Structure 1
Amino acid sequence: MSFPRACLITLAAFILLGVALPVFAGPAPKLAAPPEGERWFSIKLGDERVGFAQLNISKAGAGYRIESKGSVKMRVMGFSREATSRESYLVGPDLALQSFATESRIDGSPLALKGEVTAKGIRVVVESGGSRKERTVKSKGPVYPPQALNILPLMRGTAAGKSLKINILDVESTKVKEVEVEVIGEETLSSGTATVHLRNNLYPMVDNDIWVDLEGNSLKESVRDDLVVTQAEDEQSARLYLAQAALAKLDLVLDFSLIRVSPPLDRPEQLLKLSVEFTGVPAALPILQGKGQQGKRLPDGRVLFSMPNEAYASGPEEAPQAADLEPGQRIPSDSPEIIARMVEIVGDEKDPARKARLLMQWVAREIKGAVTDSQSPLETLKTRSGNCQSHARLYAALARAAGIPTRFVSGLVYWQGQGFLYHSWAESHLNGWIALDPTFGEMPANLTHIKLVEGDSAGEMGLLAGVIGRLQAKVVEKVYSLADSSRDLQRPE
C-alpha cells in the first residue's frame, strides 16, 4: 500500500538524517493489472506506532483510480513532525497519470492540489494559505503517481538485478522526480511467504526496501534497516485501532478523523435544532433513532440526521433493557468501590434525575482529561484521569449502581472552531432516554452529539471504525431560538 507520498517526502526533508516514511503498493511478477481492493498498513519508528496508511485501487473506465489516506507523527532526536494526507489519482491501464487531487496538512499547514495531464505537460492548481496558483509542469514521457513505484516493475515482469527508471509526480514540490527501482530478487520471509524484494532511491542517502508477495500484495517496506517500517495489517485490526485512537482524539489521527464543516457552527451549546447531512456513510451501518435524533437514509446514499427527533414528541418512548442495569466487565456497577463512591456522591438524594446530575457533574469535575483510555472504571477512579471513553464508562457504572438504566454510546460531537470529532458519552433513562456527557459536564448533552453506535464491544467499535476517514458533513439547518433559523436552501425533503 502506499502512505501518501506528499507527506512522506516532506517529512523526509525535515527529519534529521534523512529518516523518511515509506510508501506501499501491492504488485506481483508479471501482473496483467494492479491488485484491486482496500489495504491497511501500520507505520512504526522502532517499536512505536507513529502512523497508519490505507490504499484502495479500483477500476475506473479503461484505467484505475488509486486512492490513499494516512497520518503520521514522528519525533526523532528532538524534532517533531506531523502530516496527514488524502490523495486520489486517475490513471490509465498502464498506470500512467491522467488527473489527480490531493489534500495534505503538514505541521498544521494545509495544502490542496489538483491537476491533469495535457499535451503541454501537467497542469497543476495549488491552493495554500488562502492563495491559488496555477502552473504547468513539463515532463518527458509518461508520469506515474507515487503509489505506482512498487507496482510497475512487477507489471513489466522484471528479473532479478534489473532496474527501472520511473518518473513520478511529487505533489509536494509540484515537480516530476525520477526514481530508480531495482529488483533484488525473490525472497522468502520468516513466515514462509514467497516475495519479490524491491529497492528504490526515493529518499536521499538511505535504502528503501519493499517486499511484495507473489499475488501482488505488499507486505513490508523498510527505511534504513528497519528504522522506519510500514507493515501490512488486516482491516479489522487497523480499523479497531483507528476507532480507539479517534475516540481518544490522539494527535496521530485527529486531523484524519476530523469532519470539517463550512461555515463552522457557532454556539453549539445553544442550539435548539440541528440537521446535518453526511456522505460516505457505509450501507452496513445501522442508522440509530431515538428521542434525541432522527436519521434518514436518502435514495442517493446520503444520511440526514435531525436533532432532536420531533417525531418522538408524542410517540412511545423506547423502554430500557435488562442489560442497561446489569454490571459488565467494562462497566462493573456491582464493584464495592463503585457502589461506595456512588453513595458518597448522591447521599440521601432519591430523585433519579438529580442523582444522575450529581454523578455526571462529579465525573466531569474530578476526572481529568487524558488521551489514554483506562479501560476500567476502577482504574479511572484510582488515577482520576482518562479520555471520553473513561469518563462515559465510569459514569455508566456509577449510574447503574444508583439504579439508573444507562448505556455507553459513541458517535460524533462538534468541537467549536474545528468540526465533528469522534466521541463517547452516555444515555440514562430518566422518564425517557437522556444523553449526558460526563466529559464536558452536559445534561442534557448539546444537540451536536450524533449517536452512531451503542455499546463498546469489539463488534460495535468495528462498526464505528468503518466510518472513520470516510464522512463528509454539511449543516443544512440550525436553529438557536424561535426567531433565529438558518436554513440551507438545498435542504433535502
Structure 2
Amino acid sequence: MKIMKGMLQTGVLVLFISVSLLGEEAYAGPGESQKLYFGIEINGVLCGYSEISLSPLVQDGKTMTLLKQNTFAMLSALGSQFNTDLKLTYHIDPVTGRFSYHDSDITQGPTKLGSVISVTGDTARFTSTPGNREVKIPLPPEVVFENTLSFPHLLRDFVQQKLDQKTYEILEVRDAEVQKSTYTRVGTEKLELAGSTYNALILDKLNQKTGLKVRMWLDLESGYLLKATAPGNRISYRADPSVVNRIKMADVDASILAKANVTIADVQAISYMKVKATLEPSGLWVTQEGLNVPGQRFAGTINDNLIEGVFEIEHKRYDGAGAPAFPPDFGKDQSVKKYLEAEEFIESDDPVLVTKAQELTKGSKDSWEAARRLNKWVAENIHYAIPGGATARKTYDLKAGECGAHAILLATFCRAVGIPARVVWGCMYAPNYGGVFGQHGWNEIYMGPAGWIPVDATAAEIDCVDSGHIRIGVLQSLVTALNPRKMEVLDYRAGSARMGQAPEGASDKYQAYVGEYTNPANKSVMKVFVQGGALALDVPGKVVLALNDPDEKGVWRCKLASQLFLKFDKDGSGKVVEMQLHQVIPLPRRSGPPEENGGVPERLRPYLGAYLLAARQAEFTVLHQDNGLAVYDPLEKKTVRLRLPDNEGRWVDEFDKNAVSFDRDGQGNITAMNIDSVTRLRR
C-alpha cells in the first residue's frame, strides 16, 4: 500500500488563495455579459486561474451588476497536495460601486468555509458556515466597500485629486469587520497584459489591522485592477482563456518555511535559542509589546510589520503551582472574557465538544490538570494532515488536522469547561529538510496568577513548549502568513547538545546501533547517530529525528511522533544487521459494514467499511474476499489481501510487508484502522 511517509511537524494555520482581481462595469453594459480570465502565480509557477463573469441584475426594480468569480489553484505544502476552490458573488451598484450582497465559499481538501454578507443602511450582517454564526457589523459613514470589480475611490483620489497617500475604513468581508488600510502612490507604468497595453497607476496597500501588504496596478482610465502582488511571491494578472489549461502545482513552502543553519534532532529538548530573524508576517499588526512576552525577548526594529532583529527564547516549565480550582470561576475577570466565549472556528458551545471536554476533565484536582488532560487527548488522537478541518468540530470528527486545527480544538475544549485559552502563532524550529523554521500555531492557557502558559498539542508538548517557538501574536485573521526572509540560529541548548559542538561519540549502549543502513529497493541510505545524548535517525533531505530509548519490546519511538519508530534485528552473534522503520498511519472509520450480510462470516463483518486517510483525502475500504479480509487502496488502485490476525491482533498483508490493526471504543465498536507501513534497511 502506498502511504505518504513525510514527517510533517511544522504546519500552516489556514492556507487559501486571497487575491484581488480586476473588472469594470463598462465591460458589461445593459443586457450584456462578459467573461474575464486571470492567472495566479506563486513562486514563479502558474498554479491557478480566475474566471469572472459580469452580467446585469435587476433587484427591487434597480439595475445592478452581478459578479460571479470562480478561482481554482493547485498547491502543495510540506509534501501534501491539495486544491483550493474559491467562489464569490457580488451584487454591485454600478453608480456608487458599493455592494449590497456578497457570498463566498472556500473549499480546500476537507476544509469548507462559507460566508454571506448583506448590507442594509448602516449595518452589514455577516453569517458564516459551518456554524451559521451571525455578526452585525456597524458601518461608519465613510466606509468603503472594496470588491474584485473596480476601485472608483482610488481613481477619484489618486488620479483626479492627485493624492499621494490616503487611509480608508474598508469593510473586510472575510474578517467580518471594518479595518483601516493606507494606500500610497508609487508611480506609473505601462503594462502589456493578454495582448493589450495599459497605462497603470501603482499603489501600495497596507492593512493596519493585519499588516497585509499588496501592490496594485490600476488602469488610469477605468480604475480597475490590472495586476496585484502580495507577500509569499504571489501575483495575479489579466490573462487570456488559455490560462485554464496551463496551470501546474505550486509549492508554497517558501511562504511558510525558512531554512535554518543548524540541525537539531531533539526539538523537544531545546531549552534556549537565540535567533537572528527577518520576517514580514501578516495576520496582525506586530508590536514590540507583542514580541516581548514571558519566555521571549526581542531586540530590533519593526517597520510596517517588517521584523528585523534578534529573538531570545527560554521557556520555563510551569509546575502547576497556584493553579485555579476546577471547575474554575473567571466570570469576574473581564481581561479573559473573550477567551471563554465561542467563536467562528472555536465552537466551545457545541454539545458534542462540550460533552467530550467534560468527560476528559471529570475529577481533575485543578484547572492545570484538566488542561493537561485535554492537551494529551488532542496530541494523541488528532493526527497530522494538511489541509486540516479548520473548525474545532470538523477537526474532532475527522480526527486529523494541521497545527492550527490542533490548537483550535484544544482552545475549544478548554473554553468548554471554563478555562480561558487562545491560539497563538509564529514559527517553530523543526528537524525537516536539515532544519527549518516553519509557520506554526499553538496555545496559551490562562492559569490565574501564573498568567498565560504556552503548550503545543501538535508537538506533543503537554505542559510546556520548547524554546524553538518564536511567538508573533494571537491568531486574529484568515490572512495569517509567516513570510520569512531569513532565519539564523546564533546559539542554542538542547539537552547536552550545544551550538558548534563537535559530533558526539556513541556510548556503549548506543554503539551497536550507530551506522548507515541501506534500503535494497532504491539504494537510499539512512544514518543512525548520537546527538544530545540520545539516538537519532537522519533521513537524508527529509528529516532528522531524536529517538526515545527502547521499551521492553525493543521499540525505539520517535520523540516527536510516537507512531514513527525503529526496530533492530540481530544475527546469531548479537550483531545488528537490519533496521526496520515503521510508520503507523491511523485511518478513522467513515462508515461501517453494509446492512446486508452478503454471506460475510460474523467474525469478519465488524471490520468491513470505509476508513479515511485524511492527509490524502482517500477512503480505504476493508472488504470480505476469499474467506478473509482485504483492503482496497485507492491511491494504488489495487486490492491487497490480509492474512488472519496474529497473537497481537495484527493482520499482515499478503506480501509480508505491512500490517493492519484496528482500534475499538469502550463498547467494542471499531473506530479506526491502523496501517503499519514498514521499510527494511540493511546495515
State the TM-score, normalizing by the size of structure 1. Answer: 0.48
By percentage of residues, which structure has more helix? 1
Structure ID, larger Rg: 2
**TM-score of the superposed pair, with normalisation by structure 2:** 0.36
Normalized per residue, the structure richer in strand is 2
